[in-house]
Amino acid sequence: TQTVSQSDAHVTVFEGDSVELRCNYSYGGSIYLSWYIQHHGRGLQFLLKYYSGNPVVQGVNGFKAEFSKSDSSFHLRKASVHWSDSAVYFCAVSASSNTNKVVFGTGTRLQVLP
């Protein structure tokens, strides 16, 4: 069974700062890794995903994430955040043998201060 953990429940930065949201997973086989964003009171919005190939994947709105097999990580980064990036970010993992069963992390609430 795949698991995913997001160690930071809350992250607060100032507008223009860089940010890294951490995600670690555990699973013995090949997996899909994804990041989603949820603005307050809204549904999920897809940011990016990784399955194979270049371990650095570019997403929407300047987000990117890097897959590391050795660290079992898939951290999300943005070089310069905007106040509109304030939201909850969910890391998600699914086994490649059963991609439709997605396991979500507990989420990281990002607060961007002006």
Tell me which residues touch another protein (CB under 8 A).
32, 34, 36, 42-44, 46, 49, 90, 94, 99-107
**Torsion, CA 42, CA 61, CA 58, CA 10, rounded to 10:** -60
Q: Which is nearer to another protein, 15 or 27 (CB)?
A: 27
Instruction: Supply the minimum distance, in Å, between the C-beta of residue 100 and another protein.
Output: 4
Q: Which is nearer to another protein, 39 or 82 (CB)?
A: 39
Instruction: Supply the minimum distance, in Å, between the C-beta of residue 79 and another protein.
Output: 26
Instruction: Supply the minimum distance, in Å, between the C-beta of residue 1 and another protein.
Output: 11
Neighbours of 105 (CB within 10 A): 23
Q: Which is nearer to another protein, 29 or 114 (CB)?
A: 29
Instruction: Supply the minimum distance, in Å, between the C-beta of residue 36 and another protein.
Output: 8
**Cα dist. 79→25, 60, 98, 100 in Å?**
23, 13, 33, 31
Distance from C-alpha of 114 to C-alpha of 65, rounded to nearest angstrom: 24
Closest CA to 83 of 26, 34, 14: 14
